[in-house]
Amino acid sequence: VSQTPSLEQIRAAAMRIAGHVHRTPVAGSATLDAMLDAQIHFKCENLQKVGAFKARGATNAVFSLDESQVRRGVITHSSGNHAAALAFACGLRGVACTIVMPRDAPRIKVDAVRGYGAEIVFCERDRRDQVCSELQRKQGSTLVHPFTDPAIIAGQGTAALELLEQVGALDIVLAPVGGGGLLSGTAIVVKELFPEARVIGAEPFAVDDAYRSLESGELQPTVEGAQSWGDGLMTGLGALNFRILSERDVEIVRVEEDEMVAAARFIVERMKLVVEPSAATVLAAMHRLGAQLKGKRVGAILSGGNTDFAWYPSPVSS
| Residues involved in catalysis | 54, 79
C-beta separation of 238 from 288 below 8 A: no
Q: Is 104 in the site for a copy of itself (CB under 8 A)?
A: no
Greatest alpha-carbon span in the chain: 58
> Is 268 a binder of a copy of itself (CB under 8 A)?
yes
315 makes contact with a copy of itself (CB under 8 A) = yes
- Provide φ and ψ at 102, rounded to 5°: -65, 150
Q: Is 283 in the site for a copy of itself (CB under 8 A)?
A: no
Give the x/- contact pattern for a copy of itself in 221-260, rule: CB under 8 A.
Answer: ----------------------------------------
Calpha distance 102→92 (Å, rounded): 25
* Cα–Cα–Cα angle for 42, 39, 300, rounded to 5 degrees: 25
Check residue 1 for interaction with a copy of itself (CB under 8 A). no
The answer to whether the CB of 36 falls within 8 A of the CB of 80 is no
Size, binding site for a copy of itself by CB under 8 A: 21
Is 59 one of the binding residues for a copy of itself (CB under 8 A)?
no
Give the residue among 151, 170, 176, 223 at the shortest CA–CA distance from 45.
176
Would you give the binding string for a copy of itself spanning residues 8-27, x where CB under 8 A is met?
A: -----------------x-x
User: Whose Cβ is closer to a copy of itself: residue 33's or residue 251's?
Assistant: 33
Does 46 sit near a copy of itself (CB under 8 A)? yes
Q: Does residue 105 bind a copy of itself (CB under 8 A)? A: no
What is the DSSP-derived secondary structure letter of residue 69?
H
Q: Least distance from C-beta 114 to a copy of itself, angstroms?
A: 15
Which of these segments, 83-91, 147-155, 268-276, 291-299, binds a copy of itself (CB under 8 A)?
268-276
Nearest distance in Å: CB 54, a copy of itself:
14
**Pairing status of strand 297-302 against strand 198-204:** unpaired
Q: Are 28 and 40 in contact (CB under 8 A)?
A: yes
CB neighbourhood size of 314 (10 A): 7
